[in-house]
Structures are given as C-alpha cells and as structure tokens.
C-alpha cells in the first residue's frame, strides 16, 4: 500500500478513536469488533516491505520494539484512566475524560519523539512503525478494558427477587 494511503488511514483511525473516547459507549455493543481494527492495522504494518530500515536493521528493530512497547503501555494507561460503570440491564459503559486524553496524547507525543530519534540516527521509519504502535495501543486498551469490565459492579442496589 502506498505511503500516502497509509498516512490517511493512520490519521483517520487516530482522529476517530480520539474523538470517540469522549462519548459514553456501551462496551457490549462493540463485541468482537474491538479486536478488528488492531488486527487490520497490525496486518497492514507487518505487510510493509520496508518495516525495518535495511541500512540500520538493529537501530530500526530497537525503535520498532520501543514503539510497540510504548503503544502497549499507552493503551493500558488509556484503559486504566477510562471511567466504567454498569447500567441496570448489566451493560458496562466506558467514557474517557481529561486524564485519558492526557495519557493518550502523551503516548502519541513520545511515539513522535521516537520518530525524531530515528531521524537523528538516520533510520528510515515508514508508516508501518506508526501503524504497529497504534495497533498495539488499541489491542492493549481493549484487553485491559475487557479485563476491568469483569469486575465492574453496579453503582446501585439490585432488589433481590424483584
């Protein structure tokens, strides 16, 4: 896929996910789709022919690994700062707030900083490295959110035998 198309996909996914996190969303409505976007982005990233710079393979691998680990950490932080609650019907809802935005934006800023380090080292990083980092972030966020959702208790008393 062309670099321009990859860039458009990255910007579209980032904008969609960032804006959507500030509205209340029922977790159950996403179902298995929460794994779909990370899988697609990860697959697109791994198909990139120049995922690692052939002229600097070790430095490129270190930056790729650091970006992926950063994505995993950012996604986990995002999930831990997301507010969760349960409605009367048992549906778990999520909504991000200011802390979520700060974690999310800091993770993206550090990821861009890694790109700057790569540039200083002379390592060419294509859009695949960014897509893999975002895929790791979304995957981590989904996993931690689902794990947290298992322990969310209703914020009300449920009548017994009602």
Give the tens place of pLDDT for each residue, 18-48.
788 888 888 864 556 778 888 888 998 888 8
Q: The tokens of 115 are what?
A: 């790109």
Mean of pLDDT values over 75-100: 89
pTM over 0.75, yes/no: yes
Number of domains in the chain: 1
Instruction: Band the pLDDT of 104: cuts 50, 70, 90.
Output: confident
Distance CA 16, CA 82 (A): 17
Please list, in sequence order, all residues whose beta carbon lies within 8 angstroms of the beta carbon of residue 147, skipping any fewer than 6 positions away.
none
Q: The tokens of 137 are what?
A: 């972030």
SS3 58: helix
Q: Is residue 30 part of a domain?
A: no
Percent of the chain with pLDDT over 90: 35
Q: Is residue 36 part of a domain?
A: no
Q: Is residue 66 part of a domain?
A: yes
SS3 131: helix
What domain range includes position 144?
55-155
Answer for the pair 146, 79: CB distance below 8 angstroms, yes or no. Answer: no
Q: Is residue 143 part of a domain?
A: yes
Answer for the pair 69, 132: CB distance below 8 angstroms, yes or no. Answer: no
Q: Is residue 133 part of a domain?
A: yes
Radius of gyration, alpha carbons of the chain: 18
- Chain-wide mean pLDDT for the chain? 84
Q: Is residue 47 part of a domain?
A: no
Q: Is residue 79 part of a domain?
A: yes
Q: Is residue 148 part of a domain?
A: yes
């Amino acid at each position: 896929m062309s670099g321009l198309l990859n860039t458009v996909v990255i910007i579209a996914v980032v904008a969609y996910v960032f804006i959507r996190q500030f509205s209340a969303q029922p977790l159950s409505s996403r179902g298995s789709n929460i794994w779909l976007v990370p899988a697609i982005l990860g697959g697109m990233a791994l198909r990139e022919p120049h995922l690692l710079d052939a002229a600097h393979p070790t430095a490129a691998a270190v930056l790729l690994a650091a970006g992926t680990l950063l994505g995993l950490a950012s996604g986990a932080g995002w999930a831990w700062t997301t507010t969760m609650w349960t409605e009367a019907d048992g549906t778990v809802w999520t909504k991000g707030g200011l802390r979520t935005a700060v974690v999310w934006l800091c993770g993206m800023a550090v990821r861009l900083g890694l790109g700057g380090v790569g540039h200083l080292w002379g390592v060419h990083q294509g859009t695949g490295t960014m897509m893999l980092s975002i895929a790791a972030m979304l995957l981590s966020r989904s996993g931690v959110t689902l794990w947290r959702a298992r322990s969310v208790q209703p914020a009300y008393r449920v009548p017994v035998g009602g």
